[in-house]
Amino acid sequence: MLYFIYCIDKPDSKEVRMANRPRHLDYMKQFENQVVAAGPTLTEDGEGMTGSVFLIDFPDRAGADDFCANDPYQKAGLFESTVIKPFRKVVPHD
């Protein structure tokens, strides 16, 4: 099942994000075959990062929860909040 995951960074957390970015990107390599889309949300000028969005396939909610709990960003305390929702892709058609 697809899951939409939206994580919002804590205010003034650029240093935490940048310090943990290499570990986060390495962590994401484990999920390359499951990721439909993933990347940061941006400030209005497109220069700063404010959070993360993942559209990723897991067998169940427990897989999505484990993914979030073990993300180096989460472990470093980067996120103010995390939303995990089941998702159905409608467009584009496969």
Domains of the chain: 2-87 (3.30.70.1060)
pLDDT in tens, 5-50: 999 999 999 999 999 999 999 999 999 999 999 999 999 999 999 9
Query: Which sign, positive or negative, has the C-alpha torsion 85, 34, 50, 17?
Result: positive
**The residue to which tokens 């990107």 are assigned:** 25
Whether the CB-CB separation of 52 and 68 falls below 8 Å is answered with no
pTM of the model: 0.94
Section 41-64 average pLDDT: 98
Q: Tell me how far apart the alpha carbons of residues 79 and 52 are, in angstroms, rounded to a whole number.
A: 9
Residue ranges in 1-94 assigned as alpha helix (H) = 14-28, 61-70, 72-75
